[in-house]
A and B are shown apart, each in its own frame.
Chain A
Amino acid sequence: MERNLIINGAQAAAEAARLCRVQVVAAYPITPQSKIPETLSDYVERGELKAEFVRVESEHSAMAVCTAASIVGARSFTATAANGLAYMHEQLHWAAGARLPIVMPVTNRGMGAPWTILNDTQDTISQRDTGWMQFYCMNNQEVLDMVIVAFKAAEQLLVPCMVCFDGFRLSHTLMPVTVPDQEKVDSYLPPYVPYHKLDPDAPVNINPVVMSDPIPDPNGLLSPGYMGFRYRLQQSLEGALPVISEAGARYGEIFGRSYADPLYRYRTEDAEFLFITMGSLGSEASDIADMLREEGIKAGVIGVRIYRPFPAEALTDAIKDIKVAAVLEKAISYGYEGPLMTELKAALYEQKGNRPALSNFIFGLGGKDVPSGDLLNTARETIAAAKAGKPGGVPTWIGYGI
Chain B
Amino acid sequence: MSVQPAILQYPEAERILPGTRTCAGCGVPIAYRFILKALGQKTIISVPACCVTILHGIYPKTPISANTVNTTFASAASTATGLVAGLKATGRDDWTVLAMAGDGGTFDMGIQSLSGAAERATDFIYVCYDNEAYMNTGVQRSSATPEGALTTTTPVLPKQQPKKDFMQIMEAHHMPYLATVSSSYPADVYEKFEKAKEIRGTRFFHLSAPCPTGWWYPTKDTVKIGRMMVESCVFVLYEIENGEFRLTGKSLNIAKTGKKKPVNDYIALQGRFKKMTPEQIASYQSSVDAKWEAILKRAGF
A23 interface hit (Cβ, 8 Å): yes
Would you call B54 and A61 a contact (CB within 8 A)?
no
Measured between beta carbons, the chain A residues less than 8 angstroms from B83 are 68-69, 71-72
Would you call B70 and A208 a contact (CB within 8 A)?
yes
A74 interface hit (Cβ, 8 Å): yes
Q: A60-B75, A76-B86 are in contact. Are A205 and B113 (CB under 8 A)?
A: no
Measured between beta carbons, the chain A residues less than 8 angstroms from B160 are none
Interface membership of chain B positions 32-72, coded 1 if the CB is closer than 8 angstroms to chain A and 0 otherwise:
00000000011110100000011011111110111111111
Interface membership of chain B positions 75-99, coded 1 if the CB is closer than 8 angstroms to chain A and 0 otherwise:
1011111110111111010010000
Measured between beta carbons, the chain B residues less than 8 angstroms from A73 are 86, 90
Q: Which residue of the partner chain B has the closest CB to A208?
A: B59
Most chain A CB within 10 A, of B54, B85, B112, is at: B85
Q: Which residue of the partner chain B has the closest CB to A221?
A: B60
Q: A201-B41, A208-B58, A209-B53 are in contact. Are A69 and B78 (CB under 8 A)?
A: no
Interface membership of chain A positions 84-119, coded 1 if the CB is closer than 8 angstroms to chain B and 0 otherwise:
000000110010000000000000000000000000
Would you call A70 and B116 a contact (CB within 8 A)?
no
Report the minimal beta-carbon distance from A100 to chain B, rounded to whole angstroms: 10
> A215 is contacted by which of B54, B60, B68 (Cβ under 8 Å)?
B60
Report the minimal beta-carbon distance from A191 to chain B, rounded to whole angstroms: 10
Stretch among A51-59, A317-325, A382-390 lining the B interface: A51-59
Would you call B57 and A208 a contact (CB within 8 A)?
yes
> B81 is contacted by which of A65, A74, A207, A208 (Cβ under 8 Å)?
A65
Measured between beta carbons, the chain A residues less than 8 angstroms from B79 are 64-65, 67-68
Measured between beta carbons, the chain B residues less than 8 angstroms from A201 are 41
Interface membership of chain B positions 102-137, coded 1 if the CB is closer than 8 angstroms to chain A and 0 otherwise:
000000000011011001100000000000000000
Report the minimal beta-carbon distance from A26 to chain B, rounded to whole angstroms: 7
Would you call B72 and A90 a contact (CB within 8 A)?
yes
Q: A24-B82, A61-B81, A208-B53 are in contact. Are A71 and B69 (CB under 8 A)?
A: yes
Query: In the complex, A205→B62 CA distance in Å?
Result: 7
Measured between beta carbons, the chain B residues less than 8 angstroms from A91 are 72, 75
Would you call A68 and B60 a contact (CB within 8 A)?
no
Interface of B (DSSP majority class): mixed
Would you call B120 and A55 a contact (CB within 8 A)?
yes
A210 interface hit (Cβ, 8 Å): yes
Measured between beta carbons, the chain B residues less than 8 angstroms from A204 are 62, 67-68
Report the minimal beta-carbon distance from A162 to chain B, rounded to whole angstroms: 19
Would you call B58 and A209 a contact (CB within 8 A)?
yes
Query: In the complex, A201→B15 CA distance in Å?
Result: 11
Most chain B CB within 10 A, of A70, A204, A208, A215, is at: A208
Report the minimal beta-carbon distance from A74 to chain B, rounded to whole angstroms: 4
Query: In the complex, A69→B88 CA distance in Å?
Result: 9
Query: In the complex, A57→B66 CA distance in Å?
Result: 29
B74 interface hit (Cβ, 8 Å): yes
Would you call B72 and A64 a contact (CB within 8 A)?
yes
Measured between beta carbons, the chain A residues less than 8 angstroms from B69 are 68, 71, 206-207
A66 interface hit (Cβ, 8 Å): yes
> B41 is contacted by which of A23, A24, A200 (Cβ under 8 Å)?
A200
Measured between beta carbons, the chain B residues less than 8 angstroms from A54 are 81-82, 85, 120
Measured between beta carbons, the chain A residues less than 8 angstroms from B70 are 205-209
Q: Which residue of the partner chain B has the closest CB to A229?
A: B59
Would you call B59 and A68 a contact (CB within 8 A)?
no
> A65 is contacted by which of B72, B78, B112 (Cβ under 8 Å)?
B78
Q: A24-B86, A56-B81, A66-B82 are in contact. Are A207 and B71 (CB under 8 A)?
A: yes
Measured between beta carbons, the chain A residues less than 8 angstroms from B64 are 203, 205
Would you call B82 and A210 a contact (CB within 8 A)?
no
Would you call B80 and A23 a contact (CB within 8 A)?
no
Query: In the complex, A54→B120 CA distance in Å?
Result: 9
Would you call B116 and A205 a contact (CB within 8 A)?
no
Would you call B82 and A65 a contact (CB within 8 A)?
yes
User: 18 A-B contacts, Cβ less than 8 Å apart?
Assistant: A26-B81, A26-B82, A50-B89, A57-B112, A60-B78, A69-B83, A69-B85, A72-B92, A73-B86, A90-B72, A94-B71, A203-B66, A204-B68, A205-B59, A207-B70, A208-B56, A208-B57, A215-B60
Given A26-B85, A67-B79, A216-B60, 5 other A-B contacts at CB below 8 A? A54-B82, A54-B120, A56-B116, A69-B86, A91-B75
Across the A-B interface, give the 4 residue pairs with the lowest CB-CB distance, nearest first. A68-B82, A57-B116, A69-B86, A61-B78
**Chain B residues within CB distance 8 Å of chain A:** 41-44, 46, 53-54, 56-62, 64-72, 74-75, 77-83, 85-90, 92, 95, 112-113, 115-116, 119-120
